Amino acid sequence: MGNEKILVPEAHLASVMVDAFIAAVDAGVDLIPVVSDSTSTAKIGPFMKRFPERLVNVGIAEQSLVGVAAGLGLSGKVAVTCNAAPFLISRANEQVKVDVCYNRSNVKMFGLNAGASYGPLASTHHSIDDISVMRGFGHVQIFAPADGEECRQIVEHALAYDGPVYIRLDGKALPALHGADYTFVPGQVDILVKGHDVTLVALGSVVHEAVDAATQLAQQGISAQVINLSSIRPLNRDALLEALRTTSGVISVEEHNVNGGVGSVVAEVIAEAGLGVPLVRLGVPDGEYAAAGGRAPTRAKHHIDAAGITAAAVALQR
């Protein structure tokens, strides 16, 4: 958008999203956010104050949310949907598939409070299948930023891109992983930590768990490479394959079902290249829901916290 690049030390990603919306309108983008009584979830208040005439609130009607956004996108607007990921993905599934993706409508869909962000509200509010669902649709780019700076740049890319985009956002404030010199490139493989024994490939907020695990592993003499796979589609698979070749084992980590997300992407790349390295997929197990409870115990139960990742990496080295 032509704004000076500013490092976001710790940020709630929805707030970063809203700030990017305001900057885009100030820069001349004809942007219309659509919400489904989700103004609090979207932290859209600052945008509403600046541009009250631009916000569309359809009420608790997710199918209408997506349908309205699709119409706006097809009429020349840059439409953005802002609501909780589980309700966007599940309740408006057909509208996302047909109205937006099939018709290549210029809609940017933000899945807010993804993963197990809602904690004790449990399975009705946990979004552990959104990446797998969106990967099944055509014509849509898919991203999952891990910190504020990456989020800002991904949102800017999405608003400038002509076509459907899905962006998975965590519901908690996240510390910075990238400096002001970071530049997001769609499809890139973002190597945060270099290592030669094991590769940790993580998605979204659990990238922080992987980075912490790499520190713990280093204390045990195990060198871990950490890859932040924030660009699911597009993805430079050749670059990912080359990164995976550098270590003798791979662990995927995601607050998502082990099927259809990062674990599946990594497994596909390994299998299709005939790369002979073992893969451990950490996430919500096949056929299960995420545990209900606080974020920390939920991650511990599913072994996607730093301790669980560390244990898996140690076991893989034996």
Do both 165 and 195 map to the same domain?
no
Q: Judge whether 167 and 158 are in contact, CB under 8 Å.
A: yes
Residue 279 is assigned to a structural domain of this protein: yes
Q: Within a domain: residue 18?
A: yes
Residue 2 inside a domain? The answer is: no
pLDDT at 32 over 50: yes
Chain segment 121-161, per-residue pLDDT in tens? 999 999 999 999 999 999 999 999 999 999 999 999 999 99
Number of domains in the chain: 2
Q: Which of 152, 175, 198 is the C-terminal boundary of a domain? A: 175
> Do both 25 and 104 map to the same domain?
yes
Given a cut of 80, whether residue 3 has pLDDT beyond it is no
Same domain, 257 and 196: yes
For residues 11-33, give the mean pLDDT: 97
Task: Give the tens place of pLDDT for each residue, 261-318.
Answer: 999 999 999 999 999 999 999 999 999 999 999 999 999 999 999 999 999 999 999 8
CA pair distance 105, 80, nearest whole angstrom? 11
Are both 104 and 165 inside the same structural domain?
yes
| Residue type (1 letter), 50 | R
Mean pLDDT, residues 156-176: 96
> What's the 3-state SS for the chain?
CCCCCCCCCEEEHHHHHHHHHHHHHHCCCCEEEEECCCHHHHCCHHHHHHCHHHCEECCCCHHHHHHHHHHHHHCCCEEEEEEEHHHHHHHCHHHHHHHHHHCCCCEEEEEECCECCCHHHHHHCCECCHHHHHHCCCCCEEECCCCHHHHHHHHHHHHHCCCCEEEECCCCEEECCCCCCCCCCCECCEEEECCCCEEEEECHHHHHHHHHHHHHHHHCCCCEEEEECCEEECECHHHHHHHHHCCCCEEEEEEEECCCCHHHHHHHHHHHHCCCCCEEEEEECCCCCCCCCCHHHHHHHCCCCHHHHHHHHHHHCC
Residue 118 lies in a domain: yes
Same domain for 164 and 200, yes or no, is no
261 and 227 share one domain:
yes
pLDDT of residue 46: 96
Would you say residue 1 lies in a domain? no
Q: Are residues 287 and 153 in the same domain?
A: no
pLDDT at 222: 98
Tell me which of 141, 175, 209 is where a domain ends. 175
State the average pLDDT for the chain.
95
**Sheet of 107-112, strands arranged across:** 56-57, 31-35, 78-84, 107-112, 165-168, 141-143, 231-233
Looking at the fold, whether 136 and 198 belong to one and the same domain comes out as no
CA angle 279, 285, 290 (to 5 degrees): 135
Structure tokens at 190: 């973002």
Of all residues in the chain, what percent carry a pLDDT higher than 70?
97
Whether residues 167 and 25 share a domain: the answer is: yes
Residue 105 · residue 79 · CB < 8 Å? yes
Quick check: is 3 in a domain? Answer: no
Q: 98: domain range?
A: 10-175
* Tens digit of each residue's pLDDT (9 = 90 or more) over 82-120: 999 999 999 999 999 999 999 999 999 999 999 999 999
- 57 by Cβ neighbours in 10 Å (0-12 / 13-18 / 19+) ranks as middle
Q: What CATH number is associated with residue 218?
A: 3.40.50.920
Predicted confidence at residue 180, as pLDDT, reads 83
Domain containing 170 — which CATH number? 3.40.50.970
Q: Among the three residues 149, 175, 201, which one is the final residue of a domain in this structure?
A: 175
Structure tokens at 225: 């490479």
- Residues 153, 204 within the same domain: no
| Structure token pair of residue 67 | 């349908």
Q: Do 169 and 195 fall within a single domain?
A: no
Q: Is residue 180 part of a domain?
A: no
Q: Convert 89-127 to b/e letters by CB count within 10 Å (16 or more is b).
A: bbbbeebbbebbbebbbbbbbbbbbbbbbbbeeeeebbb
> Is 168 in the same domain as 204?
no
Mean pLDDT across 16-22: 97
Tell whether 182 is covered by a domain. Answer: no
* CB neighbour burial string for 206-241, b if at least 16 within 10 angstroms, e if fewer: bbbbbbbbbebbeeeebebbbbbbbbbbebeeeebb
Angle at 37 between CA 74 and CA 77, to 5 degrees: 20
Whether residue 1 is predicted with pLDDT greater than 80 in this model: the reply is no
By DSSP bridging, strand 141-143 and strand 231-233 are: antiparallel
Q: pLDDT at residue 7 above 50?
A: no
Examine the pLDDT at 5 and tell me if it is beyond 90. no
